[in-house]
Amino acid sequence: MRRRAFFSCADSIASALMSFLLNAWYVAAFAHEVRADVPFSRTLLGRPVVLYRDAEQRAIALDDRCAHRFAPLSQGRIVDGVLECPYHGLRFSANGQCVHNPHGDGRVPAGAKVRAYPSLERYGAIWFWPGDPARADAALLPSFPFVDPAANVTHDGYLHTRAHYQLSADNLLDLSHFQFLHPDTLGSEAIARGDVQSGSLDDIVWVRRSAYDEALQPFVAQGFGIPPGTRVDRWMDVRWTPPGLLSIVVGVTAAGMPREAGLIAPSAHWLTPETERTTHYFFAFGLPKEMGDAARGLVRYAVEGLMKPFECEDLPMLEAQQKNLGDHDFWAMQPALLPIDAGAIRARRVMERLIAAEQGTAPAPVRTIAITPVAGTSQAVA
């Protein structure tokens, strides 16, 4: 029965979007966006999805398209924990089944059903699984303990990006751009002078970047409580997991001192494709509750402060890249490959392999790349 739902009409409709990995957890919304009184609509992987909470406060994700005449259920009401269509009043329960027909004798046709997506709430977000419901397993969700609201104070931000989600992943996996795109907030000349390592473990990709003897920009220095002009060593550890779930831990210590003597700021960065060319970018900072009020101020400072470079510098760049990419395949554009790209390329290769496996096709042929290793850079990238 469930498999049948999986291969329903709604899937054939999404066939133009087959380049997405379907059997994966994606962030659909922050937890605070999804309510029990008013439904919420968002396009995810090209599909209109309605999100709401049922009578038990569980987050529900359904196709935002009534089974009867395709009206957006998100414009309807939540009545006794079920969703009422705004057009003719049909009601749908958490599994997508129509449970109420107000007209005539009230019988409900068996096929009056909208697609329901497995969903769960964790790390302050509502996650949904667009693929085969039978394979939706909470254990597959990667860990972001620092934004678990049970133990942490968190603050989150959202940006809508008019670019393919892999361009955003490229951006986050190669922070060398701080120096050029964000010279007044996040970067400095020390970054290009620093070193970078990357590698992978199964489907996880990591990039470790270090800058030495750096004079931080005021925005970063203030966030870490460092007096202006102090020379520091900074490291930025990025972990990527499919389909686009990243953690970034930035650490700072006095120049030449061991990392253990420094401070860290962990953040989560979750990319969910809206369409083939647009992306929902969710990010969040968290610090332990035991840090008290200071934590609350710091996570808010980080999110609010990052909004400006993200929105005014990264977004225009990503959109310009997408415009230049157009309908062309990334590899067909023959991008020059540099050592700084190692992590981003690994992540692209993982995604290509997973999507090809899911679709039963061969992955795109790998272009052999001879990357000259820089100090401390892992070498094999393909």
Contact residues: a copy of itself, CB under 8 A = 9, 12-13, 48, 64-65, 67-72, 75, 84-90, 98, 101-105, 107, 109, 111-113, 167, 170, 174, 176-177, 179-181, 192, 195-196, 316-317, 320-321, 323-326, 328, 332-341, 372, 374-375, 377
User: At closest approach, how far in Å is the CB of 263 from a copy of itself?
Assistant: 26
C-alpha distances in Å from residue 21, one per residue of 74, 187, 204, 313, 349? 25, 33, 16, 28, 13
Cross-strand partners of 265: 250
378: tokens are: 């892992």
Nearer to a copy of itself, 288 or 376 (CB): 376
Q: Which is nearer to a copy of itself, 9 or 140 (CB)?
A: 9
Choose between 105 and 260: whose C-beta lies nearer to a copy of itself: 105
By the 8 A CB rule, do 283 and 269 touch?
A: yes
Q: How far is the CB of 306 from a copy of itself (least distance, A)?
A: 18
Q: Closer to a copy of itself by CB, 284 or 318: give it.
A: 318
Residue 201 CB, shortest distance to a copy of itself, in Å, is: 23
For the chain, how far is it from start to end, CA to CA, in angstroms?
Answer: 41
Q: By CB neighbour count within 10 A (0-12 exposed, 13-18 middle, 19+ buried), where does 271 fall?
A: buried
In whole angstroms, the minimum distance from the beta carbon of 340 to a copy of itself comes to 5
Give least dist CB 227 to a copy of itself, A.
28
As a whole number of angstroms, the distance between CA 357 and CA 351 comes to 10
Angstrom distance (rounded) from CA 10 to CA 257: 57
Tell me whether residue 17 or residue 255 sits nearer to a copy of itself (CB atom).
17
Residue closer to a copy of itself, measured from CB, 294 or 380: 380
The SS3 call for residue 222 is helix
Q: Which helix (H) or strand (E) holds 128?
A: strand 125-128
Shortest distance in whole angstroms from residue 192 CB to a copy of itself? 4
Question: What are the backbone angles phi and psi of residue 53, rounded to the nearest 5°?
Answer: -115, 140
Q: Which residues contact 133 (CB under 8 A, 6 or more apart)?
A: 2, 5, 6, 116, 117, 118
Q: Which is nearer to a copy of itself, 32 or 323 (CB)?
A: 323
* Least Å from the CB of residue 294 to a copy of itself: 35
